[in-house]
Structure 1
Amino acid sequence: MGLFGKKKTEKVEVSSLVKILGSGCAKCNTLEDNTVEALKMLGKEMPVEHVTDFSKIAAYGVMTTPALVYDQKVLIAGRVAKAEEIAELLKEVMA
C-alpha cells in the first residue's frame, strides 16, 4: 500500500535573487564585484549568481550585457554601474 509509504522528497533548485547576466567578460565581472560591494554596504548577505547562458539571458529581454537582475527584474543593462548606484537601486526594490 503506497498510501502510508514514505514521501518522495525532491530537490528544488533555489535560484539566487541577485543575478549578473553576461559572458564573463571584464565588464561583467566588474558589475558582479560592484554588486557584491553594494550588498555589503546594505548589510545583506546573499549569493550572486552569474548567468552566462545566452538563451537564459535573452529570456530576460536583455540584448546588451552586462546586466543586473534582482528578483527576476532587470535593474541595469548594457553598462557597469558603481557600487553606490547599485546599493540605491537594491534598497528601493528590497523595501
Structure 2
Amino acid sequence: MMYADLIDQEDLLGQLKSLGFEVPSGSTAQQACECAVRGLDDVRANTLRTMVKQMYTSSASIQPIVREAIDKQLLPALAQYQQTRA
C-alpha cells in the first residue's frame, strides 16, 4: 500500500498489472520483475522504461527491496534487450 509516498511491493505489482503485465498475486518484487521481463518486445520494453523513469523521478520513496528488484532484474534486462536491438 502506498503510504507517505512510499512505493512498496504491492504498489509495484499493481503498477505492473495496470500496465498489462501478468504478475501472480502475492509475488515478491523480484518475482514480479522477473515476470515483467519475460518475452520483452519493443512495446513492453518501452512501457517498463517509462514506468521505471516515473518511479525514479517521482518524489515518492522506493522501498529498498523494490529498488533492488528493479536494479537487479528490470534494468539489466532492459539494457540487454536494447543491446540486442542495436
Q: Give your verdict on TM over 0.5.
A: no
Greater strand content: 1
Structure holding more helix per residue = 2
Highest Rg: 1 or 2?
1
TM-score, with length taken from structure 1: 0.25
What TM-score results when the alignment is normalised by the length of structure 2? Answer: 0.27
